[in-house]
Structure 1
Amino acid sequence: MSKKIYIQLSIRILLIAVNAMLIFYFFQKGYVINGFGFTLLLIFQTFLCFDYLKKLFLDIEKTVDCLLNDDFSNKISVEKQQNILHAKTAKLQEKYRTQSQLFTSEQVIFTNIIESLTIGVLILRKDKNDEIEVFQLNKAFVDFFQIPKFYNWKLLQEKITPLVNIIDAKPWKRVKHTISLTVNEQLESFFLKTSVTHTSDYDYLMVTMETIQQLIDKKEKESWYKLMTVMSHEIINTITPISSLAENLDSLLQDEPDEDTLSELSQGLKIIKKRSLHLNNFVNTYRQLSELPLPDKKEINFTETVQQTLDLFSQEFKEKNIQLHFQREENIQLLADKQQLEQVVINLISNCLYALKEASTPTITVNISQENNRVHLTVSDNGIGISQKIKNNIFVPYFTTRKDGSGIGLTLTKSIVEAHDGTIFFKSENGLTTFTLSFQTA
């Protein structure tokens, strides 16, 4: 408190104390009338003291009540703020008012971000009594279900029946799931993902939904972006030296050509020809990739096909001291294009040979197995592996780590496998890189 308040309170308490002593004195001496008079005066002084304290803390109490109810309309006058207690209360009120405005602004931004998303978002909040309420949901989410925005959980859960079993799980947990909904009288598949956040008072469940088509479009855009990046890089790297050389050769032709000039012209034209051939090869590989014919599927002995393809490398395996372990089940039949699958095996083994250049004990393991109605082919090597940095680009057209590589081997392999309704994936860890291919049997 300020010095002024201390002085006023001290004077009032002193007067009350003196008055009480006089009352005691008068009653002791028998001056009853004087005693009653000073008693009334004591009551009046006590009332004035309490009234002073009430006025002193009234604005503070009012401000605290407003803060408790997020009401910042109460103002403490500049005159009252001369009192240090009122000044600090005013600063506290301003601090919470600023924080409230910032929180409100962040909430608006947060809501706008969620609303702008093309994926459906639903955020639920659950208290310690397992009472659930809708914390946030966006337009995309309600559009998927063709419903209004219900912020009452009991009303909303009646409209999103396919999700109720996932949301009602106790406790809430992370889930990845595919569901089907009828949207505009058409059955559509969605990829659903949930995440959970725990705080001291609440549990939050965030549910996101996007159509399978959205996922496909996203992947296609990513693929096109990567493809265009590689193509533009390759074309610029080829054209830039050609342009520079052409300008240089043009300047040489301005003068009377001598023997040195003709030699330089010849050398420049050779470089231009070489770079042009490189660009031509680049375009041809793109054509090979884009014009991949549909597989001519026939019943083939897949085990025999892989064996015959591996035999093509037998001499190279001996020269490079590469150990081949071929584990297989005999006579596995597959409906496929034999030539295309041979190309797949050739591409995978070629990658193994490149990866094993620096290996001390180079080993390739090929395994063919059949499980129910699926045929699996795995090709492994203990070479240099695939670093985390390039894992996302392995199947991107024209991406290569080799100086003499075209960058379409694995892209072509993936295209052939997918044309056979198969899948391909890889993992590279603990000094072992493995490509796994899986095909549906007839």
Structure 2
Amino acid sequence: MKLKKLSLRVRIFIAMIFLVLLASILITGVAVYQNKEETKDYHEQRLERKEANIKRHIDFVIQETSFEVKTEKLPFIFKEEIYKIASVHDLPINLYDLDGQLLKSSIATLTQDSLQTCLNAEVLNALANTVEHRFVQKRKVNGETYQSSFTYIKDQKSKPIAILNLPLLENDDFLAKELNEFLERIAFAYLFMLLMAIALAYVLSKYITKSLNTISDKINRTRLERRNQKIEIDSATVEIAALVKSYNSMIDELEESAVQLATSEREQAWREMAKQVAHEIKNPLTPMRLTVQSFQRKFDPTDENIHQKLDEYSKTLIQQIDTMSSIASAFSNFAKMPAQKNEMLNVVEVVDLSLDIFNEDYITFSSNREEIIANFDRTQLIRVVTNLIKNGIQAIPKDKTPEIVVKVLEENKMIKITVSDNGIGISDENKSKIFEPKFTTKTSGMGLGLAMVKNIMETYNGSITFTSQLGIGTTFTVTFPKE
């Protein structure tokens, strides 16, 4: 799986573990390197100490000898002393003349592998030409590494009389054991650190991404059509705080845009409504105009049927005037926002009284309680019920026996009013438009009744829903809280 496809939390977790492992490897590498350097320094310093002590011991022997201190006399001077010195300092000793020929050695068995009988020119030149008059050479003999130091032995007048060679075996067993023990201890320490790092990385990554998840959830729930809550996070980092500030600023701008959009939509809706009203009013005005014009042309006071014709003209005008009055009333009822003159009322009683307006035997009413008290406006509640019943009656075809069932229910501090009819039902293509203003499937009316009911219910934090089957009927349900 590619790293970029992993979540931020997983990437933080992996990064922290990787850093701990990398740090462990680097520290171990540095420790091993440091051990090697210390081992090297240890052997060099040990050789220097041995050399200084042996040279002091040799100087003491030279001072105490009865032989003449010359190069050729050294084998006699150190005939027995060389073994004592080697034993005391626990180090083999070789003496060479100034030309590089072996004079005396503390090594009992002379072999070419362990001892040089003649020094090469590199050693002699280094001794003669360096300021320290000292040369250290590394050799491997039988798989073992030796450090050999070469320096001058001087007489009492500080004149070089011989070359002192001290071969030191680099025995790293003790240091290697110490290194292994150190690596074992540090391995346990790193294991503990790794476990702690895993736990810390888990907690830390969860803490870091918690704020981001909060912001992500808020963004996912952000909607233009509703009021969005701002993010409040305590003890946020600078980066998270900046992100939260940007989100909250966006919410402010979004709300401002939503208000502007709602205003624009409302203005557009009123313009559409005005066009619809104008169109509906023009429809009856045309036949009224034609009727008046016809009456004006054909009016004859001497006509014996003048009273009959006048009555027909009057009926036509009254019918069109009633149509215009109905249009004006429907528009007025829809446009007028519900005035919330709330009162504590018995919903069962108010709904039952609303049915008396229709006075039809095919309307039945029932309730799961005799009294359901709610805080609502009486006039608006009657308007909701009468509109739903009126729609139900109009949806029933003439060749069918009408049935309207009204129910009032109280469930979990919510009140439900259902109005069911056995009408023609609502087609699937019309279900999404049923609550839109000016939408209607009837030949008369402006289609404002259900839009008005929806408007009233939303004002009281309620809702309106419906279920419908073609040819069987429709049930509208309004739901609102008791308080």
Structure with greater Cα Rg:
2
TM-score, normalized by length of structure 2?
0.42
Q: Structure 1 length as normaliser, TM-score?
A: 0.45
